[in-house]
Amino acid sequence: MNFTDSFLKRITNAEKIVVFTGAGISAESGIPTFRGKDGIWNKLKPEELASFNAFLKNPDMVWEWYQHRRSIIHEKSPNAAHYSITEMEKYFDKVSVVTQNVDNLHRRAGNNNVYELHGNIERNYCIECKRPYNDSGLELENKQVPKCDYCGGLIRPDVVWFGEVLPQDVFAESERLAAESDICFVIGTSAVVYPAAYIPLGAKQAGSCLVEINIEETELSQIADYSYFGAAGKIMPKILDEIKKLKTSI
């Protein structure tokens, strides 16, 4: 893969990096994306499982589905793309990961600044008193939804469901980081889920350099400064190699 001189120059001069990621970055770890030909939503209707109403109507079924997804995720590991981003931290003032993923793989790969716009499937909380439930009594074999020890409320996964608002503090901070970034990498996202997709748009509007990595063209390709098409696990290590060369030779 050949990178243009203008792209390499942007890397040399960059200090603040934002990496905006979607389900595609975890595809090579073996976690299916939602859209696309093998996407989960082609087989199940999202509103039947991933909404608060669905949960109230059939809490055990929704809980079991999340336990199933968790058990899949536990068996998987971060891939070369996640690890390349972690290593990038050595070469820039700040690398912030803003992710739409709930799979916890960025944290498992050791990234230090992770902003989860849609929550984290490893966490849970009580729908009544909002107490967090992150480990106790939530064994994966547990097929029935657990109840809160304090108030008896149902325990739900700490993910953003259809119709719910994003965590406002996380979103606001992500917008701020995007606006002040020098480069915004956009990796493995179809960029059609709003408001999350405002993050790369805001970065571009504020003058950041938009670098897209995806296996195919997306909504963002038109406005990206650079697009590299291929698997994230192949391309990110190559970009990291360039970063190492440029940032250690100064």
Active site residues: 118
Residue 126 site contact among ligand NAD, Zn ion, none (CB < 5 to 8 Å, cut-off depends on kind): Zn ion
Residues 128-147, one symbol each (x = binds Zn ion by CB under 5 A, - = not), give xx------------------
Residue 218 site contact among ligand NAD, Zn ion, none (CB < 5 to 8 Å, cut-off depends on kind): ligand NAD
Exactly one of 8, 148, 170, 246 binds Zn ion (CB under 5 A); which one?
Answer: 148
Residue 116 site contact among ligand NAD, Zn ion, none (CB < 5 to 8 Å, cut-off depends on kind): none
Exactly one of 151, 172, 192, 223 binds Zn ion (CB under 5 A); which one?
Answer: 151
Q: Is 16 in the site for ligand NAD (CB under 6 A)?
A: no
Q: How far is the CB of 134 from ligand NAD (least distance, A)?
A: 17
Applying the rule CB under 6 A, the residues between 150 and 189 that interact with ligand NAD are 188-189
Say how many residues touch ligand NAD, by CB under 6 A: 28
Applying the rule CB under 6 A, the residues between 78 and 117 that interact with ligand NAD are 100-103
HEC assignment per residue over the chain = CCCCHHHHHHHHHCCEEEEEECHHHHHHHCCCCCCCCCCHHHCCCHHHHCEHHHHHHCHHHHHHHHHHHHHHHHHCCCCHHHHHHHHHCCCCCEEEEEECCCCCHHHHCCCCCEEECCEEEEEEEECCCCCECCCCCCCCCCCCCCECCCCCCEEEEEECCECCCCCHHHHHHHHHHHHCCCEEEEECCCCCCCCCCHHHHHHHHCCCEEEEEECCCCCCCCCCCEEEECCHHHHHHHHHHHHHHHHHCC
Residues that bind Zn ion (CB under 5 A): 126, 128-129, 148, 150-151, 153
